[in-house]
Each structure stands twice: as structure tokens, then as C-alpha cells.
Amino acid sequence: MASLLLVIAVTAFLAGAATATFAMIVIGIRKVDRPRHLPVARLSPLDAVTRATLAAGTWPNGPALGDPDTE
């Protein structure tokens, strides 16, 4: 019985060690793949208006022209 518990404990330890090693390798690869500097976003007039509207939270909540609920 004791040997069975020892085998289970060693197996669990090795599985945890393998999982941790794999996770560290994946994190390391992902960290190296990240760009150092993000490219500058092109800002067109439409992008500027969209960002300003979404940031200000001023999206019109009133009925729109041709809205079937208002006719």
C-alpha cells in the first residue's frame, strides 16, 4: 500500500513539474514574439470622430430617422 502511494506521489510531482516547465517555455516564447514598440495607429477623421464619440459616451439614444418604432 505504501509503495502505491509513493508511486502516485512521484507521478503527481513529475506531472506538475512537466506542466510548469511547459508553461514557462510557452510564456518565454510568447514574450520574445511580442513587438518592442507598437506601430503608430493611422488616425483618419472618421477614426477620430468614432474614438471621441465612444470615449465621451455621447452616442445618441433618441429615435433615428426611419425608425419603425416612431412612425
pLDDT, position 10: 96
pTM, whole model, 2 decimals? 0.44
Please report, as a single letter, which amino acid is at residue 47: D
| Distance between CA atoms of residues 42 and 64, nearest Å | 30
User: Is residue 27 situated within a structural domain?
Assistant: yes
Instruction: Classify residue 17: in a domain, yes or no.
Output: yes
Q: Find the mean pLDDT for residues 54-59.
A: 62
State the average pLDDT over residues 27-50: 74
Mean pLDDT across 4-17:
95
Mean pLDDT rounded to a whole number for the chain? 77
> Span 14-35, mean pLDDT?
87
Stated as kind and residue range, the H or E segment containing 59 is none
Task: Say if 63 falls within a structural domain.
Answer: no
The total domain count for the chain is: 1
Domain enclosing residue 13, as ranges: 1-33
Asked if the structure places residue 23 within a domain, the reply is yes
Per the domain annotation, does 38 fall within a domain? no
In the prediction, which pLDDT does 1 show?
A: 84
Identify whether 39 is part of a domain: no
Phi, psi torsion values for 7, nearest 5 degrees: -65, -45
